[in-house]
Structure 1
Amino acid sequence: MSDVIESGRLHPITAVRRAWLQLSVFGWFAWDNRDVFGKIADKFGVWGLAWAAAVLMTVLTAIVFASWHKTAFTLTADHLDYRYGLLWQVQRRIQVSQIRTVDIEHPLFGRPVGVRSMTFSTASGPTKLAYLGPRAASRLHDAVVLQTGARSAKQRGGEGIVTRVATADLALSILLDAEVVLGLVVGGAVSFVPFVLSGHALTLSLALPWIRSAWRSTGKRFPRHHGWIVREVDAGYRTEFGLFNKQQYTWQRDRISSITVHQPLLWRSRNWVRVTGGIVGHEDLLLVPVTTRAQAEKMLVHIYGPDVLKAMDAPERASRRARWCTVWWRSCAFSRTQHFAAGWRGLFLKQTVTVAPVSRVLEVRVTQGPWQRLHNVAHVMLELPGGTDVEAVNRDAEEAAEIAATMRRSCVQTSLAGAPIARRAAT
Structure 2
Amino acid sequence: MSDVIESGRLHPVTVVRKAWVLISVIGWFVFDHRDIFAKVADKYGLWGPAALAAVMTTVFIAFVFASWRSTAFTLTADHLDYRYGLVWQVQRRIQLSQIRTVDIEHPLFGRPIGVRAMTFSTANGPTKLAYLGSRAANRLLEAVVVRTGASSAKRSDEGVVARVSATDLALSILLDAEIIMGLCIGGATSFVPFIISGHALTLGLALPWLRSAWHATGKRFPQYHGWIVREVEAGYRTESGLFNKSQYTWQRDRISSITVHQPLLWRSRNWVKVTGGIVGHKDLLLVPVTSRAQAEKMLVRIYGPEALKLLDNPVRVSPRARWCTLWWRGCAVSFTQDFAAGWRGLFLKQTVTLARITRVLGVHITQGPWQRLHNVAHVTLELPGGSHVSAVNRNTEEATQIARTVRSSVVRTALAGVPIARRATR
Aligned to 1:232: 231
Mapping for residues 148-297 of structure 1, pairs under 5 Å? 156-197=155-196, 199-297=198-296
Aligned to 1:365: 364
Mapping for residues 15-414 of structure 1, pairs under 5 Å? 15-17=15-17, 64=64, 67-76=67-76, 78-86=78-86, 88-96=88-96, 102-120=102-120, 127-141=127-141, 144=144, 156-197=155-196, 199-414=198-413
Please report how far the alpha carbon of residue 144 of structure 1 lies from its aligned counterpart in structure 2 after TM superposition. 5.0
In 1, Cα distance between equivalents of 2:255 and 2:146: 18
**The residue matched to 2:387 in structure 1 has which SS?**
coil
In 1, Cα distance between equivalents of 2:84 and 2:346: 51
In 2, Cα distance between equivalents of 1:391 and 1:196: 44
In 1, Cα distance between equivalents of 2:59 and 2:200: 52
8 Å contact from structure 1 (residues 100, 279) kept in 2: no
In 2, Cα distance between equivalents of 1:298 and 1:374: 42
Alignment CA distance shift 1:58-1:340 (3 Å): same
Please report how far the alpha carbon of residue 7 of structure 1 lies from its aligned counterpart in structure 2 after TM superposition. 3.5
Please report how far the alpha carbon of residue 2 of structure 1 lies from its aligned counterpart in structure 2 after TM superposition. 5.2
In 1, Cα distance between equivalents of 2:132 and 2:159: 27
8 Å contact from structure 1 (residues 260, 388) kept in 2: no
Per mean C-alpha deviation after superposition, the further-off stretch among 377-386 and 300-309 is: 300-309
Alignment CA distance shift 1:124-1:401 (3 Å): same
8 Å contact from structure 2 (residues 253, 421) kept in 1: no
Please report how far the alpha carbon of residue 4 of structure 1 lies from its aligned counterpart in structure 2 after TM superposition. 5.1
Alignment CA distance shift 1:156-1:101 (3 Å): closer
**The residue matched to 1:108 in structure 2 has which SS?**
coil
Deviations 1:193-234 (Å, cap 9, x if unpaired)? 444455554444443333222211111111111111111222
**The residue matched to 1:110 in structure 2 has which SS?**
coil
* AA aligned opposite 1:239: T
Please report how far the alpha carbon of residue 249 of structure 1 lies from its aligned counterpart in structure 2 after TM superposition. 1.7
In 2, Cα distance between equivalents of 1:167 and 1:224: 11
Alignment CA distance shift 1:96-1:60 (3 Å): same
Per mean C-alpha deviation after superposition, the further-off stretch among 185-194 and 169-178 is: 185-194
Alignment CA distance shift 1:206-1:215 (3 Å): same
Please report how far the alpha carbon of residue 299 of structure 1 lies from its aligned counterpart in structure 2 after TM superposition. 1.4
**The residue matched to 2:384 in structure 1 has which SS?**
coil
Aligned to 1:45: none
**The residue matched to 1:227 in structure 2 has which SS?**
coil
* AA aligned opposite 1:382: L
CA RMSD of aligned residues (A): 3.8
Please report how far the alpha carbon of residue 191 of structure 1 lies from its aligned counterpart in structure 2 after TM superposition. 3.4
**The residue matched to 1:335 in structure 2 has which SS?**
strand
Please report how far the alpha carbon of residue 120 of structure 1 lies from its aligned counterpart in structure 2 after TM superposition. 4.0
8 Å contact from structure 1 (residues 100, 281) kept in 2: no
Please report how far the alpha carbon of residue 134 of structure 1 lies from its aligned counterpart in structure 2 after TM superposition. 2.4
Structure 2: stretches of 5+ with no match in the other structure: none
Structure 1: stretches of 5+ with no match in the other structure: 43-48
Please report how far the alpha carbon of residue 169 of structure 1 lies from its aligned counterpart in structure 2 after TM superposition. 0.3
8 Å contact from structure 1 (residues 379, 395) kept in 2: yes
In 2, Cα distance between equivalents of 1:322 and 1:20: 55
* AA aligned opposite 1:220: K
Please report how far the alpha carbon of residue 401 of structure 1 lies from its aligned counterpart in structure 2 after TM superposition. 1.8
Alignment CA distance shift 1:295-1:7 (3 Å): farther
Deviations 1:141-162 (Å, cap 9, x if unpaired)? 4655676766x89x93421111
8 Å contact from structure 2 (residues 4, 75) kept in 1: yes
In 1, Cα distance between equivalents of 2:287 and 2:193: 40
Give the TM-score normalised by the residue count of structure 1. Answer: 0.83
Tell me the number of residue pairs that the alignment of Structure 1 and Structure 2 aligns. Answer: 416
Per mean C-alpha deviation after superposition, the further-off stretch among 181-190 and 97-106 is: 97-106
Deviations 1:354-403 (Å, cap 9, x if unpaired)? 01111110111222333333333222111112142101112222222221
Please report how far the alpha carbon of residue 118 of structure 1 lies from its aligned counterpart in structure 2 after TM superposition. 2.7
Deviations 1:107-161 (Å, cap 9, x if unpaired)? 22212212012344667665432211224334544655676766x89x9342111
In 1, Cα distance between equivalents of 2:24 and 2:376: 66
8 Å contact from structure 2 (residues 125, 279) kept in 1: no
In 2, Cα distance between equivalents of 1:121 and 1:157: 16
Alignment CA distance shift 1:337-1:2 (3 Å): farther
* AA aligned opposite 1:94: I
In 2, Cα distance between equivalents of 1:116 and 1:248: 12
